[in-house]
Structure 1
Amino acid sequence: MITLQKSIEIYIRAKDGNRPFLITDAFTADAELTMQVNTSEISFPATVKGAKAISTVLVSEFAQRYENVYTFCIGDPPAAGSSFSCDWLVCMSEKSTGLARVGFGRYDWLAAENSGQVRQLRITIEEMTTLPQDAVEPILRWADALPYPWCPREQVGGRAPEIPAIDRIRAALA
């Protein structure tokens, strides 16, 4: 049995590193993903069922569009237990255009009691901002300097580039 913390870390590693084979380590075979997207800047299906389908949507298809992905869970890792919620921050670039992307939202995790694997994940995307190519390097350098994948809330603003959209996101996560 693994812990919910370990399952979350495996998911982040799978998604950010384009490692779809890892999703079956983190999610139960019959896991369910629901997504609430509160922005028109990105789209995902509202519901995805099964670890293989989740891997396709959140890893394989995602990696076709994005690279240099850093996903942070904001705050401390979960203590023992089968449920956990946290804010998240993502920084990345678009493969086809070279534009920067920064977004944030919320994760709500529910693990299977017998395995620690994720059986339900709700992802809320509050904002996904597209920025020009000249913002990619400062954003990725900021992301690279943050603790990964668990970033204390008070460190999110550290060394952040002075870009109005980033200021807005930092304020929302404060």
Structure 2
Amino acid sequence: MNRSTAINATDAISTYILAKDGNRPQLMKHAFAGDCELEMVVKTDAVSFPSSAKGLEQITEVLITSFGAQYENIRTFCLSRPNSDSPSHFRCDWLVGMSARQGGAVRVGCGHYGWYFGSDDGRVKKLAIDIEVMCVLPLEESEPIMQWLAALPYPWCSDIQVCESIPAIDALRPIESFLRPREKNGAALV
């Protein structure tokens, strides 16, 4: 695919996930515009990222190169799909699991993606990432977590599929609480 080829929203998101999870920075130019922007809101101390980045090179460094240097066995899931091929904006929840290259601790996190697409070629013009929850578990917990993540439909999955098969590990309860529909948590819908 060359830079002038248009891409639809689903393919742009899938290409980003493939680039991030597989540590393939060369794929980012197929999904993101050259003048793209990144905004991040991190609501946990378990992981750190800069609050913003501008331009394809800087965003690729933050989301792919630096991230891939710290983590491996990365599996990212978008928990809904765009309703059309070319929306101007799409928001979805996400789930990620990975292990640290140093020490092997497992991290499982979730939050929201806000995707903004260019009208000219469909590439991502802006990505807003909210990291709501990030659970850090010891290496001993990695096998059931990695088996769970490997069994989920990738990279598109539903929160229901995630919660139906989540391992019964107390440290994952914040993930389950975030992803369970509000009525299943006993909270009143407003």
Cα distance in 2, alignment partners of residues 52 and 140 from structure 1? 31
TM-superposed CA distance for 1:161, in Å, is: 1.2
Distance 1:142 1:56, change over 3 A: same
Question: Residue in 2 aligned with 1:37?
Answer: 42
Q: Which runs of 5+ in 1 are unaligned?
A: none
Report what 2:188 is aligned to. Answer: none
Displacement after TM superposition at 1:155 (Å): 0.4
TM-score (norm 1): 0.97
Secondary structure of 1:56's counterpart equals helix
Secondary structure of 2:77's match?
strand
Structure of larger gyration radius:
2
Alpha-carbon offset, residue 119 of structure 1: 0.2
The TM-score, its normalising length taken from structure 2, stands at 0.89
Give aligned-pair identity as a percent: 45
Q: CA deviation at 1:14?
A: 0.1
Pair 1:99-2:105 in alignment: yes
1:147 partnered with 2:153:
yes
Aligned twin of 2:129: 123
Which residue number corresponds to residue 110 of structure 1? 116
Give 1:4's aligned residue: 9
Residue 154 of structure 1: how far off its partner (Å) = 1.3
Deviation digits for residues 3-53 of structure 1, max 9, x if unmatched?
011110000000000000001111000000000000111111111001111
> Which position in structure 2 is the counterpart of 1:68?
73
Q: CA deviation at 1:96?
A: 0.3
* Structure 1 Cα separation of the partners of residues 81 and 120 of structure 2: 23
1:7–1:27 Cα contact (<8 Å) kept: yes
Report the Cα offset of residue 66 of structure 1. Answer: 0.3
Aligned partner of 1:79 in structure 2 is: 84
Alignment length (residue pairs)? 174
Query: Is residue 9–residue 82 contact of structure 2 (8 Å, CA) maintained in 1?
Result: no
**CA RMSD, aligned part only?**
1.0
| SS at 1:149 equivalent | coil
